[in-house]
Structures are given as structure tokens and as C-alpha cells.
């Protein structure tokens, strides 16, 4: 049994039911299939279309990923919504404004012939407003268990200005061979709103074909861009511990928690908000060092009333690199 990691980018021509096929056919050995998979967010951007007044209040905002498995692929459908309930919507590339709303995702698939006794558990949970009611069975008390952000939904009865957005995912180990998963989504501003979060879950026991590496997103790692409409960025580089002959084959970013605040505690309309990795793929140097750049951004573009993101620590995110590890097989193949 192995873990394989692939990334995908949502087509930008529409924001609803936008399909991504993540194909693992080339990775399967004879007799193997995709046994389980999870799809998590690497990046998201919600951007109002330019209708002459690009910053608007928010009635609803949401990102949803729906993964479906076949024997050799994971098909993920993404849907994005941002609306003021009065004609302003999240833009797609067909709007012609350059205000593309889209996501980047990382899909983690369990490949093998069979999955004995919960050795690997992967999947997505939906609509969490706190802790998921049921514990998830996993292989053992010592098995790894992780939760990542896979989506969110926040809505009210009318559009409101906001000051911050927060999305979280977490896992708790209550003891024994089980895990409990939590997720939250909140909006602050003219109205305090509580929504739901979707969470991608992964647990393995004795599976050595991948590594999960924490990205240092402490306040000192971030750089403020000269033009505040482009947010703050964090360049990162991580290197997994590898045995002799092992190399990094592929890698992706998975977000866990995101907290975005307007600067100076402002409550405002917005034009866009975004968080996550800025490139479609990560750089892997010498088969081991993985690097990329993260962004945090929220912006109101109204003339004379423009506000950008509050830099860390007021805004912050938690993210990980998940790396697929390959090793030479007998006969020299890898």
C-alpha cells in the first residue's frame, strides 16, 4: 500500500461544478487501484467581477470540493460562491475582467490491492460547525491522523461589510484506535456569522511512502508587497528526512487554518480574498528540497476607502507540505 500525491488547478471558465480529473493510472502497479482519497485546499481566491464598483458587501461566501473515486482516478468537482444578493458575484475567466475565482487542490490517494484494518483512512467530511459527531476508526492508537481545510460556507440573510474571515480544521485523539475531527468557519464585521467548514482527513499506520512537513509561517517569515492590493507573501523551503536512495517524487501544500483580517481593524466591503500557495506546482530541488510561496490577502478597492490585509500575526495561516516519497525497487526501477 502506498500514498500518492498530486495537485490540480480548477478550470477558471466557471465557478460552479468545475471539474478536475486527477489521474493515478500511471502510478498503479498490476492489480492495484485507488482504495481511498482525500482532496484538500492548497489555495483559494474569491474575487468579485468588475462591474464598475468592484468592492461589495458579502451575503454568502463558500468553497466546496466533492471528490469521487474510480479505479484509477479521483474526480473532484469545485464550486465557489461569493455574492451580495444583488447581482455581484464571484468572477470566472469568461467575465473578461481578469478577476478569476478559483482553487488549487492537493489530492492524496491510497493505492494498493487491499486496505487491511484501517491501515490507511482518507476522505472528506462536510458541514462541520465544531466537532464531527462520530469518532473515525483508525488502525491503532499510534497511527498518524491529520486534518486539513477542504472548504467552507458562511451566509446571512443580507450582505454585510466584514472585518475578518477565519477557517479552521483540527483532529483530536481521544484515546484508542480513533480520531475526532473538528472544523469551523466564522465571519466578523457588521454581523458576527458562524458557518461550516469541510475537512479532509488522512490517517495511516506503518505507511512510509510519504512525509508531512510543517511550513514555518511565523510573523517574521512574511513580506509585505509594495502594492497593498497584492497582500503579504511567505517564501518557504522544507526538506524531509530521507533514507538512502529515497527521493521526493511529488509534493503539494495543504492548508489547515486560515485567518484573514483587514488592516487597522477596519470593517469594509471587499473586492477579493485569497490564501494559500501561489504556484500550480512546487519546486523540488535535488530530489529532496521542496519550495514555494504562500499568500494572504484581502482587499477593498474603493477609491479613498481602500484597505488591505493586516500582516501577521493579526492575519495568519497554518499549512503543510505533503510529499510523496519514492525509493528504488529491486532491479533499479523506482
Q: Residues 267, 272, 277, 278: is their CA dihedral positive or negative?
A: negative
| CB neighbour list of residue 120: distance below 8 Å, 6 or more residues apart | 1, 3, 35, 36, 110, 112, 139, 203, 204, 205, 207
> Which pLDDT value is given to residue 188?
97
The residue that leads in pLDDT, 301 or 217, is: 217
DSSP letter at 221?
G
Contact (CB, 8 A) for 90 and 47 = yes
**Confidence tier at 228 by pLDDT (50, 70, 90):** confident
Work out the percent of the chain whose per-residue pLDDT is above 90.
82
Write the burial class of residue 143 (CB in 10 Å: 0-12 exposed, 13-18 middle, 19+ buried): buried
Write the burial class of residue 152 (CB in 10 Å: 0-12 exposed, 13-18 middle, 19+ buried): buried
Predicted confidence (pLDDT) at residue 169 exceeds the cutoff of 80: yes
30-53 pLDDT tens trace: 999 999 999 999 999 999 986 555
DSSP letter at 309?
B
58-95 pLDDT tens trace: 999 999 999 999 989 999 999 999 999 998 888 887 66
The CA distance from 69 to 27, in Å, is 15
Q: What is the mean pLDDT of residues 317-322?
A: 98
Contact (CB, 8 A) for 205 and 146 = no
142-163 pLDDT tens trace: 999 999 999 999 999 999 999 9
pTM of the model: 0.94
Predicted confidence (pLDDT) at residue 303 exceeds the cutoff of 60: no
Amino acid at each position: 500500500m502506498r500514498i500518492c500525491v498530486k495537485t490540480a488547478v480548477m478550470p477558471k471558465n466557471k465557478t460552479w461544478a468545475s471539474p478536475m480529473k486527477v489521474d493515478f493510472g500511471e502510478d498503479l502497479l498490476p492489480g492495484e487501484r485507488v482504495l481511498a482519497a482525500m482532496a484538500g485546499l492548497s489555495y483559494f481566491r474569491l474575487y468579485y467581477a468588475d462591474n464598475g464598483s468592484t468592492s461589495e458587501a458579502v451575503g454568502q461566501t463558500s468553497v466546496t470540493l466533492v471528490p469521487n473515486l474510480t479505479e484509477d482516478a479521483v474526480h473532484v468537482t469545485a464550486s465557489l460562491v461569493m455574492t451580495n444578493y444583488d447581482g455581484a458575484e464571484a468572477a470566472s475567466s469568461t467575465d473578461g475582467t481578469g478577476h478569476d475565482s478559483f482553487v488549487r487542490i492537493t489530492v492524496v490517494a491510497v493505492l494498493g490491492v487491499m486496505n487491511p484494518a484501517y491501515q490507511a483512512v482518507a476522505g472528506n467530511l462536510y458541514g462541520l460547525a465544531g466537532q464531527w459527531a462520530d469518532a473515525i476508526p483508525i488502525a491503532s492508537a499510534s497511527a498518524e491522523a491529520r486534518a486539513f481545510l477542504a472548504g467552507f460556507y458562511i451566509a446571512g440573510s443580507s450582505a454585510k461589510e466584514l472585518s475578518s474571515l477565519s477557517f479552521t480544521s483540527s483532529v483530536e485523539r481521544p484515546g484508542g484506535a480513533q480520531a475526532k475531527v473538528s472544523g469551523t468557519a466564522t465571519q466578523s464585521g457588521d454581523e458576527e456569522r458562524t458557518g461550516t467548514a469541510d475537512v479532509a482527513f488522512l490517517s495511516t499506520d506503518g505507511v512510509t511512502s510519504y512525509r508531512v512537513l510543517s511550513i514555518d509561517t511565523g510573523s517574521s517569515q512574511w513580506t509585505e508587497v509594495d502594492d497593498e492590493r497584492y497582500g503579504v507573501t511567505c517564501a518557504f523551503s522544507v526538506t524531509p528526512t530521507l533514507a538512502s536512495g529515497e527521493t521526493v517524487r511529488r509534493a503539494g501544500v495543504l492548508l489547515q487554518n486560515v485567518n484573514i483580517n483587514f488592516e487597522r481593524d477596519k470593517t469594509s466591503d471587499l473586492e477579493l480574498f485569497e490564501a494559500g500557495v501561489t504556484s500550480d506546482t512546487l519546486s523540488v530541488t535535488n530530489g529532496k528540497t521542496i519550495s514555494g510561496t504562500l499568500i494572504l490577502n484581502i482587499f477593498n478597492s474603493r477609491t479613498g476607502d481602500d484597505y488591505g490585509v493586516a500582516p501577521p500575526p493579526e492575519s495568519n495561516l497554518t499549512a503543510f507540505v505533503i510529499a510523496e516519497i519514492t525509493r528504488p525497487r529491486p532491479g533499479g526501477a523506482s
